[in-house]
Amino acid sequence: MTETTTQANLTTGGMLYDDANFVANEWVTEGDGSFNTVLDKYTGAELARLPNATELQMESAIQAARDAFPVFRQWSAGQRSAGLEKLAALIAGHQEELAQLIMKEGGKPISYARNEIARCVTTVKTAAAEALRFGGEMVPIDFDAGEGKVAFTTRHPIGPIACITPFNFPLNLVLHKVAPALAVGCPVIVKPAPQAPLSTMVLARLVEMAGYPKGVFSAMACGIPVAEKMVRDERMAMLSFTGSDKIGWYLKSICGKKPVALELGGNAAVIIDEGADLEQAARLVAIGAYIYAGQVCISTQRIFTVGTAHDAFQALLLTEIQKLKVGDPSDPEVIVGPIIDEGHLDRIESWVREAAEGGANILCGGNVKDSAHNLFEPTLISGATGTMMVSCAEVFGPVAVIEHVTDFDEAIRRTNDSNYGLQAGVFTNDFAHVKRAHAELEVGGVMINNVPGFRIDSMPYGGVKDSGLGREGLKYAMEDMTEPRLLVY
């Protein structure tokens, strides 16, 4: 018989999670016999052992979501907004606990983890506000055959949303799927990243405390076949996935006719032109390339310096890199914490070695700093060719490449010479360059006098090419999770 529990596990610092999955409003402590063991990414200590859910448990979650939809979709905008405000207050009430958990399970430096939780509160409160003003539009048809008629659209939730999320923002990127769904009346099932699923389980506890109906929210660790059942099932109305491009495009190929939102990362570029404030640019690029050991979808990976800016900027950047503290993520001064696991640490080391053996120059770093704690040195490389992995693929580590280009034309061309196109940064005080960057860069967003990693949670966020499909950002995700219905009379 499946066991359930309703009491929070307080043995791990008071956190509101158990070694259990949240399936259709029940905390389930049994699964398929295998477990997802979650480790502290710096110390290696065991934090939890979540049971991997069975196919039958996934079936229960899917059916509960489908059963909840006719009820939840009838909630008024006021009810949906009030529920999200209550959820935001609950998150705010556990901010430090959640930050400590993210620091442990994700290896995220504590200052950055605290920033994530502050953003989580903003994300949910923004969704609450959007729930009150989100709607359709008047359609002008009072001419020709439509003369004398009125037309407008209303927006209607499409149904349960299948959500698959990554480890690097283990709560805020979950909320970028969950909050807009709750704002429009769509139930959700969340399959969190195996490396850092506990923040999602705390969210499940808080959703439960907020009083949402049975089936509106389920969250479970599970193996690939069980996750694929959720993706393939026709009762799930949409797939929202954040992760690697390889997995994302595969899931799109198996999900049937349902709409898909994919946020798949990239190898983001920044351009430094000759009129830029080089000192400010160096400070921002150092943080943008190496914070959280570069494990951010829009981490600065490729740096193009224009003309005479190159030598001075490179020197300034190397100075800023040397200031970055590497080590224990519980230290508020640490910027570069551990790589998420040993496999990724080995991969990053091999990609840097490939570049060095191919003739690239390692300007700083280039080595594992502490294998016991999965630390890699902040690394800057010059002379990398476009076919080297550190240039053409997503490193997802504390590695950046810097290249001298002759003019702004070449900078744009080199930035676009990528399979990815998520966001780009341009440091310039030339407004003609601002306009050209916006018109010609093949990316989802252009950040002026900032790094590609700049993001406000309400803005449309997403990419082109292999960086994905659709846009996150509360209002934009709500559009994807609803469909317009036209009325004419």
Q: Which residues are catalytic?
A: 263, 297
- Largest Cα span, the chain: 75
CA distance 113 to 199: 12
- Nearest CA to 300 out of 291, 289, 287, 313 is that of 289
Which amino acid belongs to residue 352? V
- DSSP characters over 419-486: SEESEEEEE-S-HHHHHHHHHH--SSEEEETS-TT---TTS-B--EETTEES-BSHHHHHHHTEEEEE
Q: Which residue has the tokens 């810097």?
A: 402
Encoding tokens for residue 432?
């003609």
CB-based burial label for 3 (10 Å; 0-12, 13-18, 19+): exposed
The CA-based angle 111-115-117, given to 5 degrees, is 120
CB 186 within 8 A of CB 214: no
CA distance 468 to 457: 18
